[in-house]
Amino acid sequence: MSYVKVDNLVKKYGDLTAVDHLSFSVSKGKIFGLLGPNGAGKSTTLNVITTLTDFDKGEITIDGLDLRKDKTKIKKLIGMVPQDIAIYTHLNAFENVKFFASLYGLKGKELTEYSIEALEFVGLQDKMKLKPKKMSGGMRRRLNIACGIAHQPKLIILDEPTVGVDTQSREHILNSIQLLRDRGATVIYTSHYMQEVEEICDRIAIIDRGQLIACGTEPELVSMVTDVQTIYIETRLPYEFDSESFDRKIKLMPGVKGVTLEDSVIRVDISIGEDNITRIIQEFIDTGFPIISINSEVPNLDTLFLTLTGRELR
Ligand SMILES: Nc1ncnc2c1ncn2[C@@H]1O[C@H](COP(=O)(O)OP(=O)(O)OP(=O)(O)O)[C@@H](O)[C@H]1O
Ligand SMILES: [Mg+2]
C-alpha cells in the first residue's frame, strides 16, 4: 500500500525546473531513498512533500490525503529533519527537542516523556543540558534528528542527516532510522552517499536534474545495467599448469561468461545468481588449487548512475 504518492511533480524556480515531472510512491512502513548528486532536486522534493514549498504541477497524496486540500492534517503526520541544521543555539538539547515537539501539540508529561525518549533514541540522553555551541557537529546532527522525531510522526523525512558526522555517529543514525521503520514509521531518506542508501533503504529512486532516472530495490536497479559480476581468485598454480583445459572447464560451468588468467590471479565473469560464486570456488577446491585470496566486483548504484547518465554520482 502506498503511503506517499507523488505523481508528475513539477517545481520551478523562475526559469529553472528543479523538479521535472517526478513520480514515485513510498510503501507504508518502509524506508524509501532518494539518491542523486548535488542540485538533483532532492531537498526541493522533500520541501514540497512537507508543505514547506508550493509546487507548479502534479498530485501528491499522503496517507490518502491530498496535499493541496489537506495541508493541516498532513503536517501533523510528518516529522522533518532538514538538511541545514535547524536548532536554537540559546536552548539546551532538552529545551530544543521540547520546543519542536510542542509545535505539534504535545504538552505536559507527554511532552517531557517523548522529548527524553527522542534524546535517548539519538544517544544524547547524557547531554540534555548541553547547548548546541558546545556540541560536536555529529551531536548537533543527532539533536537535529531528535527535534524532528520527538512527536512520533508516522512519516519521517530526513534530508541528508549524516553529512559531516563521524563513522560512529553515522552508524548510530543509520541504526536509529531502521529502528524507527521497524516501529512502524514510513521514512523518506535522501543522500548522495550511495553506500548509505544501499545499506538502509528498502526501495530507491535515483534522480538527476529533477528527473527520475530509475526506481526499485537495489538488486532491481543493478540488474538494469548488468547481470554480470566479476570475481578475482588468487591461487598458486601448479608447475606445468594446463591453463587451456582449465579455462575450457570453467567456461563450461553454468553462468560463466568469461575467464582470464593474469599471473596467479584468475578472473571469472559470472552471472549474478545465488549459487554461482559458490560453485566456482568449489571447483577450485576440488581441483586442489590453494586459494590465497578472493575479491569480487559487484556492480553498484554508482555504476548504474554512470551508465544511465554518463556522469559520476559524486
Ligand atoms: N529557493 C531556491 N531558489 C532558486 N533555486 C533554488 C532554490 N532551491 C533550490 N534551487 C535550485 O534547484 C535545484 C535543486 O536544488 P535542491 O536543493 O533541491 O537539490 P538537492 O538534490 O537537494 O542538492 P544537494 O545534494 O546539494 O542538497 C538546484 O539547481 C538549486 O540551485
Ligand atoms: Mg539537498
Per DSSP, the residues of 15-70 read TEEEEEEEEEEEETT-EEEEE--TTSSHHHHHHHHTTSS--SEEEEEETTEETTT-
CATH of range 2-223; options 3.30.70.20, 3.30.9.10, 3.40.50.300, 3.40.50.2300: 3.40.50.300
Looking at the CA of 211, which ligand is closest?
A: 1
Calculate how far, in angstroms, residue 261's C-alpha sits from the geometric centre of ligand 2: 45
CB 36 less than 6 A from any atom of ligand 1: yes
Q: Which fold has domain 228-298?
A: Alpha-Beta Plaits (3.30.70)
Q: Whose CA is nearest to atom 4 of ligand 1?
A: 13
- Burial class (CB within 10 angstroms; exposed 0-12, middle 13-18, buried 19+) of 21: middle
Q: Give pLDDT < 50 ranges for the chain.
A: none
Q: Which residues of 114-128 are buried (b: 16+ CB within 10 A; e: fewer)?
A: bbbebbebbbbeebb
Residue 131 C-alpha cell reads as 547547548
* Ligand 1 nearest atom to the CA of residue 47, by list position: 18
pLDDT at 290: 85
CA dihedral (48, 49, 51, 55) in degrees, to 10, reads 30
Calculate how far, in angstroms, residue 39's C-alpha sits from the geometric centre of ligand 2: 7
pLDDT in tens, 220-267: 888 887 788 899 999 888 777 788 888 888 888 888 989 998 888 999
pLDDT at 297: 80
pLDDT at 301: 81
- Residue in 21, 22, 30 with CA at minimum distance from that of residue 2: 30
- Is residue 77 within 8 Å of residue 28, measured between CB atoms? no
- Residue in 183, 145, 137 with CA at minimum distance from that of residue 161: 145
The sheet with strand 228-235 has its strands ordered as 256-262, 265-271, 228-235, 291-297
Q: Whose CA is nearest to atom 2 of ligand 1?
A: 13
CB 18 less than 6 A from any atom of ligand 1: yes
Could you give the CA distance from residue 140 to residue 3 in angstroms, rounded to a whole number? Answer: 30
What phi, psi does 90 have (nearest 5°)?
-85, -5
Calculate how far, in angstroms, residue 43's C-alpha sits from the geometric centre of ligand 2: 4
Calculate how far, in angstroms, residue 101's C-alpha sits from the geometric centre of ligand 2: 24
Could you give the CA distance from residue 226 to residue 215 in angstroms, rounded to a whole number? Answer: 15
* Ligand 1 nearest atom to the CA of residue 45, by list position: 18
* Ligand 1 nearest atom to the CA of residue 34, by list position: 21
Calculate how far, in angstroms, residue 259's C-alpha sits from the geometric centre of ligand 1: 46
CB 47 less than 6 A from any atom of ligand 1: no
Kindly report the pTM of this predicted structure: 0.83
Calculate how far, in angstroms, residue 18's C-alpha sits from the geometric centre of ligand 2: 11
Domain with CATH 3.30.70.100 in the chain: 228-298
Q: Give me the amino acid identity at 18.
A: A
CB 83 less than 6 A from any atom of ligand 1: yes
* Ligand 1 nearest atom to the CA of residue 44, by list position: 18
Location of C-alpha cell 583445459: 245
pLDDT at 226: 78
State in Å, rounded, how far the first CA of the chain is from the last one.
33
- Is residue 209 within 8 Å of residue 289, measured between CB atoms? no
Residues in the chain: 314
Could you give the CA distance from residue 2 to residue 108 in angstroms, rounded to a whole number? Answer: 34
Domain with CATH 3.40.50.300 in the chain: 2-223
Calculate how far, in angstroms, residue 54's C-alpha sits from the geometric centre of ligand 2: 16
Q: State the Cα angle at 198 between 273 and 196, rounded to 5°.
A: 150
What phi, psi does 245 have (nearest 5°)?
-75, -30
Q: Whose CA is nearest to atom 12 of ligand 1?
A: 18
- Is residue 19 within 8 Å of residue 34, measured between CB atoms? no
pLDDT at 111: 96
Whole-Å CA distances, 129 to 134, 139, 262? 10, 13, 61
Phi-psi region of 95 (alpha: psi -120 to 50; beta: other; left: phi over 0): alpha
CB 39 less than 6 A from any atom of ligand 1: yes
